[in-house]
Every structure is written in C-alpha cells, then in structure tokens.
Amino acid sequence: MNRLFKTRVTEFFGIPRPIVASGMQWLSTADYVGAAARCGMMGFITAGSFPDLAGLRDEIRRCRVIAERRPFGVNVSMLPKLVEGEKTERIFDLIIEEGVRFVETAGRSPEAYLPRLHGAGIKVLHKVPAVKYALKAQALGVDAVTVVGAECGGHPGMELVGTMVQAAVAAREIDIPLIIGGGIGTGAHIVAALALGADGVAIGTRFLVAEEIWAHRSYKERLIRADETDTMLLLQSLRNTLRALRNDTAHKIRQLEELHGGNLEVLMPHISGKAGRKAYETGDTSIGALAAGQAVAFADRIEPLAAIVERLDAEARRAMERLDRLGGLGLRQKDG
C-alpha cells in the first residue's frame, strides 16, 4: 500500500494513512470499519449502535475477520452526565475481553477508565470540540486527541471555533499525537492539516456515501445533492450543539428551541437517535436530526470506500505538487 505520509498518527495506530474514520452513530458497523482498516485507515465501531453487549461482541468479531487482522477500535461516546442504567463500564469490560487495542472516547472525560484500559494495553483517543478540553485530556493521560472544528457534523461544541484555527492552536499546545477533524473532505485538506501541525485527520461526513455504509441509497443521494450550506446548527439551547442536515426535522427543532428554549421533554421526540436510524433505513431524509458536516459538499458519488481513499491520495499528491511549484517559483523570484 502506497504511503504518502509518515506521522505520529501512522506510527501510533500502525497504519499507512494518517486518517481516522471517526465513529458515527448507527453507521460505523463492521462492514465500514473493516473496509477502513483494509484501506490503511483507523476506524471505530460505535458501541452505542448496539442495544446489547452480545451484539457489540459479535460485531467486533465480525470486524476482525473483515479487517483481515488490521487494527481497528471501538468508539464509546459517553453521555455528558452519568445516568441510571448507563453501561459504559460493561462496554469497556467487553472491549478488554475481546482484545481490542484502540478506543475512541467522547462526550465525557474518560479519566475514571484510563487505569484499567491502559492496564490492558489499550490506547485511548479522546475526541473534543475545543483545545482547552484537549489539554485537559492530555493532562489526564490519554494517548492521543482529536480536536474538531465548527465545520464538523455531530457535536462541534459551544465555542464553534473553525478547523484552521483549532488546528494551529492545538499544534502549538498539544504534545501527544494530534488529529484534526471538521470539514475535512479532500486530499488537499489532509495536506493542509499536516502543514498546520496536526499528525492526522478525522473524516466522517465525506465517507457517508461509501458503499460500505449500510444506509439507504436515497439518503446517500440526498447527501450528493447537498452543498456546504445544507447543514444547520441545533440544540445550542441544550448546550449540546449539533450540526445536522437541513431537513424538516431540523427546521422543527429550530422552531421549538425558539419557542421553548432548552426544554428537553419537548425536543426529545425530534432529536431521538431512533428517528435518525429510521431515516437511514428508509431513505426518508425529511425526518431525523441527521448529523452531517460541511464537508458534505465533497460527497459527490456513491462508490466503494477504497475508491474514495484513492481519490483522497490523488488530491493530496496534486496539492503537494502545487506547493512544490509555488515554492520553486518563489525561489526563482528571489534569485532574480
């Protein structure tokens, strides 16, 4: 497999490409994550997509076969606050039992679980929406961090700092392997993130049109028609900002927030993950708060994940060639 870059992220995961296919609720199954592994990237099965531990265990084992023994991990997106019946600890127990080597955490500090995970030889990548949280995670002892900018799908935080600024600030202050996400949709973005000081990138939205994503074809065709303006910021009244595809449900949520503020009881029927899953199953993209980032502008065709990655490679090469030409021009002008 052709290696364009060697970074702390490629060394950390033992992969040829500095790309993390971030965990996406309902969609990051063994088929997708295994394909990402075969493409030389790091992918994470989303534990929250499985209603019981037996289902998650089966998916991990299935992914191990599809990935052909290449590295992959499990995403554990913890709720911001502990709630009755949360099974995070049991999920980590299962991950340890199954010999998974990498975990992606988000939503709440993983501090309480780090000693056990590290004791089992597991590396922890923690995802945050601001550099200040990345610094905190670094101080707690996580092994790597992902910092996402305002352009990302899902939860970009309350500060809504753009990816270029996040990357430059994070590179100045973070000592552990640093991944940057949010709006990453082309190979040129990968080159830019590395130039800014990141060690790798996180990609989600751009990969939603991959054939290995199980969602209905009509859902993917809606993404192909979308451009960079077709997302909305929601749930700021709950201090849990969500960037989602512009649709009937998103407009309804915006209206309810204006009328009722952060009334979770009023909002819950519209923001429930089950509604989003129904959209993926049926292709009815008018329903559900469907996480999508501004990089949807680059989701231009349905094709195998390997084909998307090949295009990213080609775009990255062209970007580096362009920089080489510009650098050569600058030297000639100086010499003249």
The pLDDT of residue 83 is 47
User: Residue 259: inside a domain, yes or no?
Assistant: yes
Same domain, residue pair 175 and 263: no
Q: What residue has token string 């580096």? A: 320
Q: Which domain holds residue 241?
A: 217-282
Residues written for the chain: 336
End of a domain among 263, 282, 301?
282
> Backbone dihedral region of 317: left (phi > 0), alpha (psi from -120 to 50 degrees) or beta?
alpha
Same domain, residue pair 62 and 185: yes
Count Cβ neighbours within 10 Å for each residue of 18-29 and write b for 16 or more, e otherwise: bbbbbbbbbbbb
How far out from the chain centre does Cα 91 lie? Answer: 20
How many angstroms separate the CA atoms of 305 and 252, rounded?
A: 33
Same domain, residue pair 62 and 174: yes
The pLDDT of residue 328 is 67
CB atoms inside a 10 Å sphere around CB 196: 19
How many angstroms separate the CA atoms of 164 and 181, rounded?
A: 10
Q: What residue has token string 């997106």? A: 77
User: Residue 44: inside a domain, yes or no?
Assistant: yes
End of a domain among 214, 242, 260?
214
Same domain, residue pair 172 and 195: yes
Same domain, residue pair 232 and 183: no
The pLDDT of residue 272 is 85
How many angstroms separate the CA atoms of 299 and 315, rounded?
A: 14
Same domain, residue pair 40 and 139: yes
**Would the pTM of this model clear 0.85, i.e. be above it?**
yes
Same domain, residue pair 266 and 171: no
How many angstroms separate the CA atoms of 22 and 295, rounded?
A: 14
The pLDDT of residue 82 is 47
Same domain, residue pair 120 and 253: no
User: Residue 336: inside a domain, yes or no?
Assistant: no
User: Residue 60: inside a domain, yes or no?
Assistant: yes
Q: What is the DSSP string of 141-175?
A: T-SEEEEE-TT-SB--TTT---HHHHHHHHHHH--
42 three-state secondary structure: strand
Is 45:74 a contact under the CB 8 Å cutoff?
A: yes
* 99: CATH: 3.20.20.70
How many angstroms separate the CA atoms of 29 and 51, rounded?
A: 13
200 three-state secondary structure: strand
When divided into structural domains, the chain yields a total of 2
* Ramachandran angles phi, psi of 244, nearest 5°: -135, 160
Mean pLDDT by 10 residues, the chain (336 residues): 84 98 95 98 96 96 97 89 67 97 95 96 98 98 98 95 98 98 98 98 98 98 98 95 97 95 92 90 96 98 98 97 81 46
User: Residue 81: inside a domain, yes or no?
Assistant: yes
User: Residue 328: inside a domain, yes or no?
Assistant: no
Element holding 103 (H helix, E strand): strand 102-106
Same domain, residue pair 162 and 255: no
Same domain, residue pair 171 and 66: yes
- Cα–Cα distance list, 31 to 13, 59, 64, 107 (Å): 20, 9, 10, 25
**In terms of Cα–Cα distance, which of 103, 35, 54, 93 is closest to 310?**
35
Same domain, residue pair 210 and 263: no
Is 73:45 a contact under the CB 8 Å cutoff?
A: yes
End of a domain among 167, 196, 214?
214
User: Residue 309: inside a domain, yes or no?
Assistant: no
User: Residue 197: inside a domain, yes or no?
Assistant: yes
Name the H helices within the chain.
8-13, 30-38, 53-66, 88-97, 114-119, 131-140, 163-173, 187-196, 217-225, 248-260, 264-271, 273-282, 305-335
Same domain, residue pair 119 and 263: no
